[in-house]
Structure 1
Amino acid sequence: MRFLNYGRAIALPFIILFFSACNSSPPPPEIKLLKDIDFELHKIDAVKYAPDEYNKFKVNLRVLKDKIVQEESKFSIFRNYESIQKNIRDIIADGKKLLIDINEDKSKRKEIISDKIKKLEDKARIINELTLKVNVGASTRKLLTKGDIAIREAKASIDIERYDSTMEKVESATALLNEAEKLVIPTLKRYSQNDIINKWRKSVRDAIEESKRKKMAAIVVDKAERTLTLYKTGKILQVFNIGFGRYGYRDKLFSGDDATPEGRYKIIKKSGKGESKYYKALLLDYPNQEDRKEFLKAKKRGLISKNARIGGLIEIHGGGEDSTTNGCIALENSHMDELFDKVAIGTPVTIVGATSIENELYFGLKELEGNSNLIKR
């Protein structure tokens, strides 16, 4: 009996210890949530977007892990996680706030960069449309192509949230399009300056007045509108669509520049069908005295080479308004037939850039300038 009592005395502490172990404090369930938050912060590159806050979070997390390891090293009956519960909740709150802040920051970055890309796409479109009207050479087309590639690469980078890479591509595209813009602007500006347009208007008024006074035919070519207007005794008889050289919107300076001259000319030769490789042709008296004077001025100012020649053989000819010329003015053959029969040697021809400030090149310039101002903001 005494032995039985002794056995009970020994077993009782172990039974108590067993049930106490069963009732020991389990690890906080929030630990899994904390691990998930840590994983999400790593996944969204928190170290890049909020390095100081993320470093603080990681330090607190390491301290917490050390406390948990220390607690787990104890015999289960002595474990108590209550003392670190508040610490866990605080770190979870910090981690959640950091997640929200970073995601909001990334969202704002994406919105800002996407807006920049959209404006760059608009700028590329505007310049491209203008270069189809105002040919400014292969260098501009090359810049536009490179700019377009940089824009597409930027869009690909933003889709995978590589914002640093995206901004590099955006800056590259901006620089390329700015260079292309510089090449387009000088030609466009001529069509938006009131003093130049007023001079062109006066030339047209004088031509119409002369036609009326002398009861004769007169031709007016408007580059901006791409039209040739035939007047008779000061009144419009017919209007034809025209084409001209790849640099036709510029004023001709020298031989080989493919520009169409501007000024007052007259027809000095008529070449009928079979006499011109462009169906029929009306040869103008370019260069006239004013052209020669401007040519010499340009040479003295160093605007053109000392070896440059002034050029000549500027015609109004057939071949179609879509044909490319070297500075001449082209009409559809059927329109050339109509014009050819209604003019004579000596008929005055006035060529101007525009007769109104409200021309498509002016509006193109304003659209381009507006876009550039938006990009700078």
Structure 2
Amino acid sequence: MGKKTRNVLIILPILLTVLSGGFLAFYPFPVPPAAEIKAALHSLSRASAKQADHYTPGLYKQALVSCDSAMAIWKRENKKFICLRKYDLVKDYAILSAKLSDSADKKTSLLKTEMRDRQILAIDSLNKLVKNISEYYGTFPYPPPIRERISRGKMLLRDAETAFDAGNFIGADSCIAESGNLLVSSREFADINLREYFQSFPRWKRWIGITLSESVKTGSYSIIVDKFARKLILYHGGKKIKEYSAELGKYWIGNKRISGDMATPEGMYKIVRKLEGTATKYHRALLLNYPNNEDVARFKRDIINGTLPPSADIGGSVEIHGGGGRGADWTEGCIALTNNDIDAVFRHVKTGTPVTIVGSLYDQKKIFEE
């Protein structure tokens, strides 16, 4: 090998080293978009903390997919030779993810505020509805399935309040909707039945007028029982002396039709016997002349038209008696007072004293306006 060749072999590696060093020093190698990735992850985390995945799931999912795409492309590019790496798509996806996350974050905040404001009104409205049901329909003889709906509606309302206080507006929304459906439908059931029931008000009003007119004329005592108000009212000479809380048959709404229907009859009756001591198991009692002629006539019509079976029994032994004060309707059709109250009434009345039992002293409109 000549001297010239040896010099070339010595100089060539040095030259290549210098050239490659210069290339590496001045070649614009692609830089990973670390700042954009960091911003995307931060925005995504912030949106997740606000539960954007629940409140704005579409936007949040797009942000998540964009971030995943950025990370996947970054990983793929890093496997290439450094000079061949391209991070443009990584950057684009990261920026898009951050924008989508920020949008989901803002929309979630707005939606939460909107839901919170709406739920404040809804919960307040449902609490008023519960109060309304308790005040006006608390003694209404709902069938067991309707009572269960009311109980569940109240329970769901409490769950809604708990979820609301915890900031779980989606959970609160669900509970509010179901609670409202149960409570509103239950009240509508009562409304329909009461409207039908109060169609008898003109007849009740006529009975009351006759009873009080007779009391004025004779200067004697008379009793009117207001079933809806749960009151027994004692009159003398047509003037109210005192009223007493009363408890009725379990299924008090409507008229008594047969024995065992747990309904308190409606009509114009009289006291036929005063019972005390061993003659009654309820301290003292005033036996009424149920069934009266009108009850018997109606019972016979119901047998004839087939709304009652031929074997039906009209019942009897309806009394005003003691043993009350239980806070619920529990009798088989009688009117129960506390022992002290039956003592007071017992002293004033006698055999023959009129007892008129009506659905209400007032029409439905006046009751609910008050």
TM-score by length of 1: 0.73
Pair 1:314–1:70, CA change in 2 (3 A) = closer
User: Which residue of 2 is the match for residue 374 of structure 1?
Assistant: none
Equivalent pair of 1:282/1:317 in contact (CA under 8 Å): yes
CA distance in 1, matches of 2:331, 2:54: 61
* 1:340 CA drift (Å): 2.0
User: Which residue of 2 is the match for residue 13 of structure 1?
Assistant: 19
**CA RMSD of superposed structures (Å):** 4.3
User: Which residue of 2 is the match for residue 98 of structure 1?
Assistant: 104
Pair 1:21–1:117, CA change in 2 (3 A) = farther
User: Which residue of 1 is the match for residue 241 of structure 2?
Assistant: 237
* 1:142 CA drift (Å): 3.1
Instruction: Give the AA of the match of 1:12.
Output: V
User: Which residue of 2 is the match for residue 280 of structure 1?
Assistant: 284
Q: For residue 243 of structure 1, give the secondary structure of its aligned residue in structure 2.
A: coil
Residue 342 in 1 paired to residue 348 in 2?
yes
Equivalent pair of 2:37/2:91 in contact (CA under 8 Å): no
* 1:312 CA drift (Å): 1.0
User: Which residue of 1 is the match for residue 339 of structure 2?
Assistant: 333
CA distance in 1, matches of 2:276, 2:48: 80
Pair 1:102–1:153, CA change in 2 (3 A) = same
* 1:20 CA drift (Å): 4.5
Q: For residue 18 of structure 2, give the secondary structure of its aligned residue in structure 1.
A: helix
What is the count of residue pairs matched by the alignment? 359
CA distance in 2, matches of 1:70, 1:117: 53
User: Which residue of 1 is the match for residue 205 of structure 2?
Assistant: 201
Equivalent pair of 1:274/1:280 in contact (CA under 8 Å): no
- Structure 1 residue runs of 5 or longer lacking an equivalent are 368-377
User: Structure with the greater relative contact order (CA < 8 A, sep ≥ 6): 1 or 2?
Assistant: 1
What percentage of residue pairs aligned between the two structures are identical?
27
Instruction: Give the AA of the match of 1:343.
Output: V
- Structure 2 residue runs of 5 or longer lacking an equivalent are 1-6
Equivalent residue runs for 1:1-377 within 5 Å: 9=15, 11-17=17-23, 19-20=25-26, 25=31, 27-39=33-45, 44=51, 46=53, 49-51=56-58, 53=59, 57=63, 60-61=66-67, 64-65=70-71, 68-69=74-75, 72=78, 76=82, 88-105=94-111, 108=114, 119-120=125-126, 123-124=129-130, 126-127=132-133, 132-151=138-157, 161=168, 163=170, 167=174, 173=179, 176-177=182-183, 180-181=186-187, 184-185=190-191, 187-189=193-195, 193=198, 196-300=200-304, 303-322=307-326, 324-357=330-363, 362-363=367-368
Q: What do residues 183-218 of structure 1 show as CA deviations (whole Å, max 9, x unaligned)?
A: 534553356x4x533432232222111112123222
Q: For residue 96 of structure 1, give the secondary structure of its aligned residue in structure 2.
A: helix
Equivalent pair of 1:222/1:352 in contact (CA under 8 Å): yes
Pair 1:244–1:74, CA change in 2 (3 A) = closer
Q: For residue 279 of structure 2, give the secondary structure of its aligned residue in structure 1.
A: strand
